[in-house]
């Protein structure tokens, strides 16, 4: 159940749309994963680092003041308290242990805002691996603090000057590097995206979020929640918290995309609401594109949601009716961020703030519900943007 088909499809979405030279590497990756995923030694090593290095389990915190304000019982799954400040480290840690098992000595990754780059540089320092990060020239300028972090931890940053000089172009360059050095190099993809088996791997490494949250809510409330809410960029924190609730049909799964300046403005990143099936970065997904099938530039105030596609499993869950998705504007996200800060003393990432903003919508959520919201990351990285607007 919930596993992709043999060729990596979730329903109509997914697959391996890559040059032939990469197919053996993807097959090796899946074979290695299938061998180690039930291996007690691998599980024990991953658990050790998740606990002692990342700080898991993350708390499931009952946000009393926010609950009162929204007239719901709201629990926050505190992924912001992980080492490096977001959920991304759950995946980079799992993948680097897998790379070690495969005998790779070098790691590459793409990054947009730098959050995935920092999580990758962190685990490379931890494991003593060479680390090369591809980043758009535009993003290097905008995210200089994260560039300094990665450099301090020993990573080399490669500036990408093609196309729009952002994440989409950095991803293309990372794939090119991987094709050339696949022998000794593992490519750590940062969301539940890309060719099979990445969407499966990333989801499984992130599913620790929902596994803990399900146990924690049963401990604290002796019942399952009415709804689980998460923001959606590529889909990794959402699938991570949803996975262990998918079979609980009474639990609504709600994803929140970035409506940017509005869904009719062409300045948004709402790939589930407004995308059409297309191939982007190795798999078939819902993609923002023009009438000629050219990829459209995405826009969101939060860099982590600013991507013109969304991973295959979420596309499938949406199409099958299990996942509901909504879109929240830049302005409402900023308001959601401010409200949580004032009410609870927690500064959330702007990505997460999109999910927070949905809590005000009684038409969608009703009243007096028990809700778990994935607090995917902390907002320190966004302070400059936040203070410009608030």
By CB under 6 A, the residues from 184 to 223 that bind ligand PLP are 191
Could you list the active site residues? Answer: 88, 110, 376
Closest CB 91 distance from ligand PLP, rounded Å = 9
Question: Can residue 237 be called a binding residue for ligand PLP (CB under 6 A)?
Answer: yes
Residues within window 342-381 making contact with ligand PLP, judged by CB under 6 A: 349, 351-352, 376-377
**Closer to ligand PLP at the Cβ: 136 or 377?**
377
For ligand PLP, give the closer residue by CB, 73 or 285.
Answer: 285
Min. distance of Cβ 183 from ligand PLP in angstroms?
28
CA neighbor of 209 nearest in space, from 238, 252, 251: 238
Q: At what angle do helices 198-206 and 312-319 cross, to 10 degrees?
A: 80
Q: Which of 107, 155, 123 is nearest to 46 (CA)?
A: 123
State the minimum distance, in angstroms, from the CB of residue 206 to ligand PLP: 8
Q: Minimum Å distance from CB 177 to ligand PLP?
A: 21
Q: Does 117 bind ligand PLP (CB under 6 A)?
A: no
Four-point Cα dihedral 57, 63, 64, 69, nearest 10 = -170
Number of residues interacting with ligand PLP: please give it, by CB under 6 A.
19
* Neighbouring-strand partners of residue 283: 280
Cβ atoms of 17 and 325 within 8 Å: the answer is no
Q: What are phi and psi of 123, to 5 degrees?
A: -70, -25
Query: Using CB under 6 A, which residues numbered 297 to 316 contact ligand PLP?
Result: 304-305
* Nearest CB to ligand PLP, comparing residues 73 and 108: 108
Residue 371: closest CA among 251, 192, 258, 196: 251
92 counts as binding ligand PLP under rule CB under 6 A:
no
Q: Which residues contact 293 (CB under 8 A, 6 or more apart)?
A: 278
User: For residue 254, how far is the Cα from the chain centroid?
Assistant: 15
Strand residue runs (E) in the chain:
9-10, 13-14, 60-62, 73-78, 106-111, 130-136, 156-160, 185-187, 227-231, 252-260, 276-280, 283-287, 309-310, 323-329, 370-375
- Interaction of residue 232 with ligand PLP, rule CB under 6 A: yes
Coil, strand or helix at 372: strand
Closest separation between CB of residue 240 and ligand PLP, Å? 7
Q: Name the residue nearer to ligand PLP (CB basis): 339 or 351.
A: 351
If one asks whether residue 241 binds ligand PLP (CB under 6 A), the answer comes out as no
- Among 27-35, 235-243, 256-264, 333-341, the segment contacting ligand PLP (CB under 6 A): 235-243
Q: Examine residue 8 and tell whether it contacts ligand PLP (CB under 6 A).
A: no
Q: Residue 384 has which token pair? A: 């400059």
Decide if residue 86 touches ligand PLP (CB under 6 A): yes
Interaction site with ligand PLP (CB under 6 A):
86, 88, 115, 191, 231-238, 304-305, 349, 351-352, 376-377
């Amino acid at each position: 159940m919930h596993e992709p088909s043999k060729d990596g499809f979730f329903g109509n979405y997914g697959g391996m749309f890559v040059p032939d030279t990469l197919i053996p590497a993807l097959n090796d990756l899946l074979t290695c994963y299938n061998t180690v995923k039930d291996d007690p030694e691998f599980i024990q090593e991953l658990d050790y680092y998740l606990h002692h290095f990342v700080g898991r389990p993350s708390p499931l915190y009952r946000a009393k003041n926010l609950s009162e304000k929204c007239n719901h019982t709201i629990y926050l799954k505190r992924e912001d308290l992980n080492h490096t400040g977001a959920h991304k480290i759950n995946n980079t840690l799992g993948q680097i242990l897998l790379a070690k098992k495969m005998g790779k000595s070098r790691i590459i990754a793409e990054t947009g805002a730098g959050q995935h780059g920092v999580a990758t540089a962190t685990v490379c320092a931890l494991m003593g691996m060479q680390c090369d990060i591809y980043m758009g020239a535009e993003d290097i300028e905008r995210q200089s603090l994260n560039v300094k972090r990665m450099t301090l931890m020993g990573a080399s940053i490669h500036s990408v000057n093609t196309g729009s000089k952002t994440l989409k172009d950095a991803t293309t360059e990372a794939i090119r590097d991987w094709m050339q050095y696949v022998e000794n190099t593992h490519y750590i993809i940062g969301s539940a995206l890309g060719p099979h088996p990445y969407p499966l791997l990333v989801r499984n490494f992130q599913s620790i979020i929902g596994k803990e949250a399900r146990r924690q809510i049963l401990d604290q409330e002796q019942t399952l929640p009415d709804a689980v809410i998460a923001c959606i960029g590529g889909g990794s924190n959402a699938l991570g918290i949803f996975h262990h609730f998918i079979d609980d049909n009474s639990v609504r799964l709600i994803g929140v995309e970035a409506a940017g300046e509005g869904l009719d403005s062409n300045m948004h990143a709402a790939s589930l609401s407004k995308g059409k099936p297309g191939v982007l970065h190795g798999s078939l997904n819902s993609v923002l594109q023009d009438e000629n099938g050219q990829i459209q530039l995405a826009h969101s105030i939060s860099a982590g949601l600013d991507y013109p596609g969304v991973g295959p499993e979420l596309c499938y869950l949406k199409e099958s009716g299990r996942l509901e998705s909504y879109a929240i504007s830049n302005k409402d996200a900023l308001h959601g961020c401010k409200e949580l800060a004032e009410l609870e003393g927690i500064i959330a990432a702007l990505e997460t703030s999109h999910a927070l903003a949905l809590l005000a919508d009684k038409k969608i959520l009703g009243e007096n519900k028990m809700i778990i919201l994935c607090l995917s990351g902390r907002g320190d990285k966004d302070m400059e943007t936040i203070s410009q607007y608030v």
